[in-house]
Structure 1
Amino acid sequence: MSDDHAFIPVYVIVGANGMLGRAWRELLEAEQRDYLAFDRVQLDITDPDAVAAKIPEGVRYVVNCAAYTNVDGCEEHEDEATRINGEGVGRLAERCAAIGATLVHYSTDYVFAGDADSPYPTDAPIAPVSAYGRSKAAGEKAIADSGCSHRTIRTSWLYAPWGNNFVRTMLRLTDEKDTLSVVNDQRGRPTSSQHLAAVSKTLLAANDGVYHVTDGGECTWFEFTQEIARQAGHDCDIQPCTTDQFPRPAKRPAYSVMDLSRTEAAAGKMTDWKTNLAQVLSQID
């Protein structure tokens, strides 16, 4: 592992200190692979000169874990979100095209409208209903327009043993509170960041294109919380509520379950979310 490029690594991880960036670092360290890692301060992906300086020729894979991920904040700062999630991704894609590297980029279930009644395939029309979704769709387009080799990986409901995420928040709340209301009319697929990194690496041997990577199975946020509390042994009265009872600035997709068939054909069956949740909970103090 290195944080400069006196040598030429196989991997460069961008956004290396986030939930997914840390999972990638731990994965590569476990395999004793060298890599360059940059956080958002060390590399501004919207600056093409910085991107060229930090990502040397000879790199094979650029793993982009950098993003503006505050879904509600995007509603007030859509220009900034698009600058990072759209234009910044385009800069990385252009660099990868120039040096012959493969870009591993993460997109989101929020590129879909969320009004389907069956899982979204990878080629389903995108129709984002939020600023965040629009900014991530712009990133997908920038990659396609660049012509670079890529794995554009859509994921959803990301969680990890570290960082700020739904699992860690609900683990705390179900321990502290006697009762808790959680939205029960939004359905999707949770995703362990460690599972996501591992499957993403497997997909490097697959064809270019768009993939959906999540845990297996599906649930609502209410059902997710119930399972978190059950596995943690927390005695909290968890009640379902509607999205309308818990208003947020950004509209959330009601149904954002993504079809996994293309990914599973290349990387095997996705591990069920309850199993991955147990593995993550076992790592939290």
Structure 2
Amino acid sequence: MKLLVTGANGQVGWELARSLMPLGDVIALDRSRCDLSRPETLAGLVAELAPDVIVNAAAYTAVDKAEAEEALATTINGTAAGELARAAKAVGALLIHYSTDYVFDGSKASPYTEDDPVAPINAYGRSKLAGEMAIGASGCDHLILRTTWVFAARGGNFVRTMLRLGAEREQLRVVADQHGAPTWARNIADATAQVIACAQRERQQGGFTSGVFNLASSGHTTWHGFAEAIFDAARARLPAVGLKVARVEPIPAAAYPTPAARPANSRLAQERLRARFGIVMPRWDEALCRCLDELSGR
């Protein structure tokens, strides 16, 4: 099996290069070789490589910046996703594409299911929804995996930001009224490998159907709860960081205005993923400890 991975230098893309190796020949391309800001180049690239599976881990992810760059975000997250989908159909490939909880408005009191109405409240969410819609309209075999609050040992993410700020300041203020499930990039990549193996068997047996699936950690917390868990775990696992932070003050989102509005509820129901692929994602706090162990070199 030949697997093409876009966004090779991203948090999930980097992990995919490892997780997908047991499945076959992995071709992991970074932006220099696969630039989604130039959608017109994608059909030729896919035709040349003729993969069996395309895993699109490339995306525009600067949520606040997208408010001023919505056209660019939509080109990368929407138009390019559609071009990859049409190219996948042309070569008979399965497309795996990552989306986000930000396609929802966050007003629901319980976890979102895949069938809940979408209503993004920021430019990033609108751009990712455009990608979902373009893929669905393409007619290619596809699986869209919606995830949330991604973190990793590398790249720009909440864990690394908190560790940096916690080493610089004695007190931090963190939003406590937004709820979600922090999800480790490695868990996403490992689950993706399981999904692909199952989906390819389904395709070979003539029983495959395209669809949307939530893929996030078990359990949930707030950004404030996540920050406190990071510091508690880091004190035991990363003493070299030299944390100074002694207090993490919980604040409402209204006290920390950002250019892009965030959903108050980013929890994603996992039943559909479990029913079809047999995947139960690890708890977010267990994944956090494993990620910090990686940072410590354990």
Q: Deviations over 1:228-279 (max 9, x none)?
A: 0000114521110111111000000011111111112223321100110011
From 40, 46, 49, give the equivalent of 2:31.
40
Residue of structure 1 aligned with 2:173, choices 177, 181, 190: 181
Q: Which residue of 1 aligns with 2:291?
A: 280
Unaligned runs of 5+ in 2: 200-208, 236-242
Q: Following the alignment from structure 2 to structure 1, what is the Cα–Cα distance between the partners of residues 28 and 69?
A: 27
Distance between the aligned counterparts of 2:180 and 2:4, measured in 1?
Answer: 30
> How far apart are the structure 2 equivalents of 1:37 and 1:52?
17
Contact 2:19–2:193 (CA under 8 A) maintained in structure 1:
no
| Bigger mean CA deviation after superposition, 19-28 or 214-223 | 19-28
How far apart in 2 are the matches of 1:82 and 1:58? 26
Task: Provide the C-alpha distance between the structure 2 equivalents of 1:52 and 1:196, rounded to a whole number of angstroms.
Answer: 26
Q: Which residue of structure 2 aligns with residue 60 of structure 1?
A: 52
Question: In 1, are the aligned partners of 2:67 and 2:123 still within 8 Å (CA)?
Answer: yes
Distance 1:203 1:139 in 2: 20
Contact in 2 for aligned 1:113/1:129 (Cα 8 Å): yes
Given residue 35 of structure 1, which amino acid in structure 2 is its aligned partner?
A: V
Which residue of structure 2 aligns with residue 23 of structure 1?
15
- Equivalent residues, number: 276
Q: CA–CA distance in 1 between the matches of 2:44 and 2:166?
A: 46
Q: State the one-letter code of the partner of 2:193.
A: K
SS in 2 for 1:284: helix
1:50 lines up with 2:60 in the alignment: no
1:114–1:254: 8 Å Cα contact kept in structure 2?
yes
Cα drift, residue 34 of structure 1 = 2.0
How much does 1:47 deviate? 4.1
> Structure 1 length normalisation: TM-score?
0.93
Which residue pairs with 1:91 in the alignment? 83
- The residue identity in structure 2 corresponding to 1:284 is L
Residue in 1 that maps onto 2:251: 241
Compared CA separation, residues 181 and 48, structure 1 to 2 (3 A): closer
Question: Aligned Cα RMSD in Å?
Answer: 1.5
Q: Determine if the alignment matches structure 1 residue 270 to structure 2 residue 264.
A: no
Output the amino acid matched with 1:210.
V
CA deviation after TM superposition for structure 1 residue 32, in Å: 7.7
CA offset at residue 58 of structure 1?
A: 4.1
TM-score by length of 2: 0.89
Matched residue, 2:217: 215
Q: Which amino acid aligns with 1:231?
A: A
